[in-house]
Amino acid sequence: MKKSDDLRKKIAYERKCFWTDTTKNEQKTAMKFAENYKKFLSAAKTEREVIDYTVEELKGKNFINIDVPQKNNNNRRVYKVFKNKAMAVAVIGKNPMSEGVNIVASHIDAPRVDLKQNPFDEDKITKLAILKTHYYGGIKKYQWMSTPLALHGIVIKANGERVDICIGENDNDPVLVMPDLLIHLSRKEQMSKPMSEAVSAAHMNVLLGSIPYYEDKEETKDAVKLNALNLIFDKYDIKEEDFLSAELYLVPAGKARDLGVDKSMVIGYGQDDRICAYTSLQALLDVMEMESDKTSIIYFFDKEEVGSDGASGANSIFFLDFIGDLLKYNNEDAGSYNTRKTLIKSSVISADVNAAINPNFPSVHEASNAVHMGYGVGIAKFLGSGGKGGTNDASSEFTAKVMRIFNEEKVNWQIGALGKVDEGGGGTIAKFLSYHGCDVIDCGPGLLSMHSLNEVCSKADLYSTYKAYKAFLLKA
């Protein structure tokens, strides 16, 4: 070996490829880890569905709902569901919580297309029944056209009864679609316009039905819409007025799948940020089996894609309030002072996805500062846009501590900024959590095609993220 090679090995930094750096055994474990992840992605396509899935899993592991009074507070495994859209899960450690806790916090909402509050209409020219929509989060609208969609969500009837809706996921279900314009007639309407204008929100109507309702062989007003409403009434016993208060989301229909001839990747909807929710849950379930000194907590927040506002977002009182709940449950002082001090002494991972370099569009990244697929979980000291606008920016002390923990636990990790400086940018929940004075760092896997209907992750990075969160919960 040349002298320069020796020196390079000794003092130069190089990120490590999971597929060449780890044993065949560990790679097999990573491949296996992805199997249940695909099932989770396919089953949980809304924040409510993620919560239902998680609560089901927790009940099987003897976790209790902290809001339900218990005979004693001996169970160290607790969870809380907040407004049916956010949740937190904790494994209480041996040390007092007020000495500080370890937290991994992610978000479980994803970009989607919602139905408008009064969605039903019949197009006057075509006599087709349609549903009107209002998109949620950052989407490229054209990606949602002419692709099979499923309808997920809930309707609360006038008597208060909740009806869960899911149309388009079973093989026998019909799907829905927003029909795009044929290429032959797109020259002026679409092809000569900038991408952001080629499909507008007003084009995103959903085809609902085409058969009119007939009475005595005489067509009635809006007969196609009426027929569709009648079919829905027959199946679910819900009327048009019930939709005015409903929460119904259109999401891509179908399951998450393996990607690539080597099956090294997963393609599926909603991986931003359910990949972090899933890996943090699996990490916590492992920590649960160990006698940990510190309390481990994971949070699933809603509303990240629209700015973390609202009662179920990371900028709400829920983050602080659950710490108070836990202190009280653990027979510690749950007053405002002690609750605040507990968070100030705590360590937090803001668990969110990063942008891996896309071979089709490498120019928006700087390769040495970006996340590469298959090279492990990404650590982002800061995000934001422009001159670090709107960032948390983890301290050097805390960043080095996290790197040390990952190295000790042989986690494949890399540093990752979100694109070149001034290329664009984005934020996470990190800045809302750090408001409480805790140490916070962004950490999560890189995805390709983030916010598209078919996001891609590497199974190596999925597994490395799980390992990273577990190491952090145990050692931070």
* Interface positions with Mn ion (CB under 5 A): 272-273, 352
CA distance 334 to 98: 9
Quick one: 63 or 144, whose CB is closer to Mn ion? 144
Residue that is written with structure tokens 């029944």 in the block: 129
Quick one: 165 or 380, whose CB is closer to Mn ion? 380
Quick one: 178 or 429, whose CB is closer to Mn ion? 429
Three-state DSSP class for 458? strand
Please confirm whether the linkage preceding 5 is cis (ω < 30° from 0).
Answer: no
Q: In this structure, are residues 463 and 275 in contact, taking their beta carbons and an 8 Å threshold?
A: no
Q: Which residue is nearest to Mn ion (CB)?
A: 273
CB of 16 to Mn ion, least distance (A): 25
CB of 304 to Mn ion, least distance (A): 6
CB of 272 to Mn ion, least distance (A): 4
CB of 110 to Mn ion, least distance (A): 7
CA distance 285 to 132: 42
CB of 80 to Mn ion, least distance (A): 22
Quick one: 128 or 380, whose CB is closer to Mn ion? 380
Quick one: 272 or 393, whose CB is closer to Mn ion? 272
Three-state DSSP class for 14? coil
Quick one: 351 or 476, whose CB is closer to Mn ion? 351
| Residue-wise burial string across 239-255, b where 16 or more C-beta atoms lie within 10 A, e elsewhere | eeebbeebbbbbbbbbe
Alpha helices in 163-222 (DSSP H): 195-198
Quick one: 223 or 370, whose CB is closer to Mn ion? 370
CA angle 97, 100, 101 (to 5 degrees): 80
Q: In this structure, are residues 23 and 412 in contact, taking their beta carbons and an 8 Å threshold?
A: no
Cα-Cα end-to-end distance for the chain: 38
Nearest one of 285, 313, 408 to 106, comparing CA atoms: 313
CB of 140 to Mn ion, least distance (A): 13
Kindly tell me the burial class for residue 4, based on how many C-beta atoms sit within 10 Å of its own C-beta (0-12, 13-18, 19 or more): exposed
CB of 37 to Mn ion, least distance (A): 17
- 390-396: long-range contacts, CB 8 A cutoff, minimum separation 24: 390/427, 390/431, 391/427, 391/430, 391/431, 392/350, 392/428, 392/430, 392/431, 392/433, 392/434, 392/440, 392/441, 392/442, 394/430, 394/439, 394/440, 394/441, 394/442, 395/439
CB of 417 to Mn ion, least distance (A): 15
CB of 351 to Mn ion, least distance (A): 9
Distances (CA, A) of 175 to 148, 168, 204, 211, 405: 6, 4, 15, 16, 47
Q: In this structure, are residues 243 and 117 in contact, taking their beta carbons and an 8 Å threshold?
A: yes
CB of 109 to Mn ion, least distance (A): 9
Q: In this structure, are residues 145 and 178 in contact, taking their beta carbons and an 8 Å threshold?
A: yes
